[in-house]
Amino acid sequence: MNDKIQVISKYALEGLNLDALKDAALAAKQTLESGNGAGNDFLGWLHLPSSIDEQQLSDIEKTAAVLRQECEYVITIGIGGSYLGAKAVIEALSDHFASYKSGNGPKVLFAGNNIGEDYLYDLMDLVRGHKFGIIVISKSGTTTEPAIAFRLFKEMLEQQEGKEFAQRNIVAVTDARRGALRNLATQEGYATYVIPDNVGGRFSVLTPVGLLPIAVAGFDIRNLVAGAIEMEENGDEQVLNYAIARNALYQDGKKIEILANFTPRLHFVAEWWKQLYGESEGK
């Protein structure tokens, strides 16, 4: 055979100062960790895994146990970071065909991330006649999409199962002190969890925003947190290598990044990634 493999350098990165890129990445990391940069009032996610205490994990597990015992479905109402992280984790860990199989606990469904009337109609039709619970996630309680969904499903649940059942099986994840949802939760006596002031929604999967729906879905949140702590302690090299590679490509004029995966379970990891990067770099 006379076939030859021709190696060309057309797409290679040439003339880059990798030492300078490394120094820039380390300087950015130092700025981030010292809290001296722009947006430093939203850095609670940096050490979120190691800041979760035993009492918080225990409380989340107890609330999840009530919902798992009493409900056939649990509707998680939220938009953007208030649902994407939890959905990404649940889908990644679930059987591909879990929705078609009977399981040992409620199905976790999602609403409030769009205003499609047919989606809401179909979801209401699905849970009609079944016991369901609600996890409503919103700092303010006034964001349009979650507010509409919560109003519809709260009213439906109260009419279908009564106020007492609804009070036990509606959980609000919201601001610690203020906002329409906080006021309603206090008035109605719902169980509540706090969205930390210094954690943006897109980074909130390791707060009750993500941990409660994940626990309701039947997954071990302690193992999840333990894995996150391990990455917090040992993941710097991977993070820095990724940052350096992105900057090297950007400086070379390669400004379009594509995240591709070929595993259906990871579809919503990609959706979450789009939101993380779109909001962090484009807002």
Query: What CA–CA distance (Å, rounded) separates 14 from 118?
Result: 53
Q: What is the pLDDT of residue 163?
A: 97
Is 207 within a domain?
yes
Contact 131, 158 (CB under 8 A): no
Q: What is the pLDDT of residue 1?
A: 57
Q: What is the pLDDT of residue 280?
A: 77
Those residues whose C-beta lies under 8 Å from the C-beta of residue 1, and which sit 6 or more positions away, are none
Is 235 within a domain?
no
Is 73 within a domain?
yes
For the record, the structure tokens of 112 come out as 């409030």
Is 11 within a domain?
no
Model-level pTM? 0.91
Q: What is the pLDDT of residue 183?
A: 96
Q: What is the pLDDT of residue 87?
A: 97
Contact 191, 171 (CB under 8 A): yes
Residue 175 has φ and ψ, to the nearest 5°, of: -65, 150
Q: What is the pLDDT of residue 283?
A: 60
Bridge-based pairing of strands 107-111 and 132-137 is unpaired
- The CATH number of residue 54's host domain is 3.40.50.10490
Q: Which residues of the chain have pLDDT under 50?
A: none
Is 24 within a domain?
no
Q: What is the pLDDT of residue 118?
A: 97
Please state the domain count of the chain: 1
Q: What is the pLDDT of residue 11?
A: 66
pLDDT in tens, 234-248: 988 999 999 999 999
Residue span of the structural domain in which 141 resides: 48-228
Is 203 within a domain?
yes
Is 265 within a domain?
no
Q: What is the pLDDT of residue 60?
A: 98
Q: How would DSSP label each residue in 52-105?
A: --HHHHHHHHHHHHHHHHH-SEEEEE--GGGTHHHHHHHHHHS-TTGGGS--SS
Specify the length of the chain in residues: 283
Q: What is the pLDDT of residue 9?
A: 64
Is 245 within a domain?
no
Strands (E), the chain: 73-77, 107-111, 132-137, 170-174, 191-194
